[in-house]
């Protein structure tokens, strides 16, 4: 009995040392797996890449700040667009059409002689319909009316008065609209975009400072405004020109040119959304 009691502590010591060696071996095996183990898809080591965190798919994203900015640049119009019509009446359809065609040809030749390029002249509408007399109980056709609409674009503002007067003299008796535009619109729009970016940065910097952050680089820009050439329609002048030929000529000045042309201003306006990093 004494002999067994003396060997019992030694037995437990050896057992503890064996367990320690087993644990180290397990750790070492994990740190340096054999080629067979690394190649096995079922091993613990092969599963390690799948545990690597994907911050994007997990919903993680860098901190950003988003601001909206609008700016506009005022431009002085230097070109105009006129939409006007030539109307004719005649007893029969053939004569009406022929007369209308002749008047339109005269106007086109006049515009070309005044420096308007042929590519700037477009026939935008044409119609002819019968004129009825409803007196009594019988509907009778008493004649025909034909009208051709012409759109004339890229007219220099300085020539507008002369062109209006000469066109009326050539047979145009219905002005539908006059619009003023700027040939510098592209440049003005680009400048407005630059101003909008500067304004956006100022806003973002103020918000970042208020939030105790530092402003980083731009990570996204969205142009919300649609690019379309700005124009200003002179409705007052158009209304004056929608009158009879005699009234139009009475508005001409002493030099025989139409007065009262005030093109005003047009604007190139932009709206953007800009996203910045913040730290």
CATH of the domain at 133: 3.30.70.2970
Full-model pTM: 0.59
Residue 86: give the domain boundaries.
77-176+242-257
Task: Supply the DSSP symbol for 45.
Answer: G
Inside any domain, residue 252:
yes
The pLDDT tens digits for 173-184 are: 678 888 888 888
User: pLDDT tier at 255 (50, 70, 90 boundaries)?
Assistant: very low
How far is the C-alpha of 224 from the C-alpha of 221, rounded, in Å?
10
The pLDDT tens digits for 3-26 are: 444 444 444 434 443 443 333 334
Task: Pull the structure tokens for residue 198.
Answer: 């500067």
Inside any domain, residue 43:
no
Predicted local confidence at residue 52, as pLDDT: 41
Q: Residue 217 pLDDT > 90, yes or no?
A: yes
How far is the C-alpha of 151 from the C-alpha of 85, rounded, in Å?
9
Inside any domain, residue 192:
no
- Count of the separate structural domains present in the chain: 1
Inside any domain, residue 159:
yes
Question: In 46-157, where do the E strands start and end?
Answer: 64-75, 79-90, 121-133, 140-156
- Which residue from 234, 117, 226, 238 is spatially nearest to 180, judged by alpha carbons? 234
The pLDDT tens digits for 28-86 are: 444 444 444 444 444 444 443 443 444 444 455 679 999 999 999 999 999 999 988 88
Lowest mean pLDDT among 47-51, 96-100, 212-216, 218-222: 47-51
Inside any domain, residue 172:
yes
How far is the C-alpha of 200 from the C-alpha of 68, rounded, in Å?
7
Inside any domain, residue 24:
no
Inside any domain, residue 123:
yes
CA dihedral 159, 162, 166, 167 (to 10 degrees): 50
Run of H or E residues at 163: helix 157-169
- Answer yes or no: are the C-beta atoms of 79 and 157 closer than 8 Å: yes
Inside any domain, residue 246:
yes
């Amino acid at each position: 009995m004494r002999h067994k009691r003396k060997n019992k502590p030694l037995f437990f010591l050896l057992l503890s040392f064996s367990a320690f060696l087993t644990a180290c071996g397990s750790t070492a095996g994990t740190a340096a797996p054999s080629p067979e183990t690394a190649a096995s898809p079922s091993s613990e080591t092969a599963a390690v890449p799948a545990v690597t965190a994907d911050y994007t798919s997990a919903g993680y994203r860098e901190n950003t700040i988003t601001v909206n900015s609008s700016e506009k640049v005022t431009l002085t119009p230097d070109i105009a667009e006129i939409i006007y019509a030539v109307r004719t009446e005649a007893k029969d359809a053939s004569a009406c059409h022929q007369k209308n065609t002749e008047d339109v040809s005269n106007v086109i030749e006049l515009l070309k002689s005044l420096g308007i390029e042929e590519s700037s002249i477009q026939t935008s509408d044409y119609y002819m319909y019968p004129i009825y007399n409803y007196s009594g109980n019988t509907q009778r056709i008493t004649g025909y009316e034909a009208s051709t609409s012409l759109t004339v674009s890229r007219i220099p503002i300085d020539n507008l008065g002369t062109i209006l007067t000469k066109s009326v003299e050539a047979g145009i008796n219905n002005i539908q609209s006059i619009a003023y535009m700027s040939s510098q619109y592209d440049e003005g729009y680009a400048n407005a975009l630059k101003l909008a970016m500067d304004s956006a940065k100022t806003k973002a910097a103020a918000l970042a400072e208020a939030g105790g952050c530092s402003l980083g680089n731009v990570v996204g820009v969205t142009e919300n405004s649609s690019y379309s050439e700005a124009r200003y329609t002179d409705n007052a002048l158009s209304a004056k020109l929608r009158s009879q030929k005699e009234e139009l000529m009475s508005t001409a000045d002493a030099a025989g040119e139409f007065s009262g042309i005030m093109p005003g201003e047009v604007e190139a306006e932009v709206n953007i959304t800009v996203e910045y990093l913040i730290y």
